[in-house]
A and B are shown apart, each in its own frame.
Chain A
Amino acid sequence: ELKVEQNPLFLSMQEGKNYTIYCNYSTTSDRLYWYRQDPGKSLESLFVLLSNGAVKQEGRLMASLDTKARLSTLHITAAVHDLSATYFCAVDRSGGSNYKLTFGKGTLLTVNP
């Protein structure tokens, strides 16, 4: 059974600081996705990582994938309050007729002034 673990699950940081969220998974996959969820809202796709060494950046967020280590990171640079949300990683094991993402528990990020 594929397991996806995120840490930390809760992260409180000050504006202007840097931090990294980690996503570990238990079986081979080279497809990983990051989503953002604001309170009471749906999930918004942030990044799609489709190969070992993939790196994507959007604003103050940068995501990377190391398939050998089965690890993805979401790095936050100079955090601002607008980044406060829950961030989920999801691993793709789709194949044959099985179209399935397995999600981590999510990291609740709070950015304080």
Chain B
Amino acid sequence: ETGVTQTPRHLVMGMTNKKSLKCEQHLGHNAMYWYKQSAKKPLELMFVYNFKEQTENNSVPSRFSPECPNSSHLFLHLHTLQPEDSALYLCASSQVVATYNEQFFGPGTRLTVL
């Protein structure tokens, strides 16, 4: 595997289900990110992890729970979601240095909440 991978690629869940999204980066980066991309809205940053420590939580509802067990893996645990949470969820990683923060994105998980 190369780059940033995400599983599953598609997920349909009911409002009472619990599911998890997985992201893995094979780039040796030190930071990982979750973004939400909804139709007709800008890309929304949800969470940032730097060396496994969460450094940003962009006022995300508690029904989204991130987990970063190591610098290569990032999870997004989902429970009691709402239909408006249906979106493309993108994971990204970067090697942050003082002058540079180019982020590399995974293919995304298309989530539909019924």
Contact of B104 with A by CB under 8 A: yes
Q: A33: which of B33, B102, B106, B108 is its contact (CB, 8 Å)?
A: B102
Contact of B34 with A by CB under 8 A: no
Nearest residue (CB) in B for A45 is: B102
Measured between C-beta atoms, what is the minimum distance from B46 to chain A in Å?
12
Contact of A100 with B by CB under 8 A: yes
Q: A99: which of B41, B55, B106 is its contact (CB, 8 Å)?
A: B55
Interface size on A, residues (CB 8 A): 25
Residues of B within 8 A of A35 (CB): 105
Asked whether A103 lies within 8 Å of B42 as measured between CB atoms, the reply is: yes
Q: B43: which of A45, A48, A103 is its contact (CB, 8 Å)?
A: A103
Asked whether A45 lies within 8 Å of B42 as measured between CB atoms, the reply is: no
A43 to B55, alpha carbons, bound, how many Å? 23
Contact of A31 with B by CB under 8 A: yes
Measured between C-beta atoms, what is the minimum distance from B60 to chain A in Å?
14
Q: In the complex, which range does the number of interface residues on chain B fall in?
A: 20 to 34
A50 to B97, alpha carbons, bound, how many Å? 12
Contact of B94 with A by CB under 8 A: yes
Asked whether B99 lies within 8 Å of A31 as measured between CB atoms, the reply is: yes
Residues of B within 8 A of A102 (CB): 45
- Give chain B's interface residues, CB within 8 Å of chain A: 31, 33, 41-43, 45, 48, 50, 55-56, 90, 92, 94, 96, 99-108, 110
A-B contact pairs, 10 of them (CB 8 A): A42-B90, A42-B107, A43-B43, A97-B55, A98-B55, A99-B48, A99-B56, A101-B45, A102-B45, A106-B42
Identify 16 new A-B residue pairs, CB closer than 8 A, beyond the known A43-B90, A88-B43: A31-B99, A31-B100, A42-B107, A42-B108, A43-B105, A44-B105, A48-B100, A90-B103, A98-B55, A99-B56, A99-B94, A100-B45, A100-B48, A101-B101, A103-B43, A105-B41
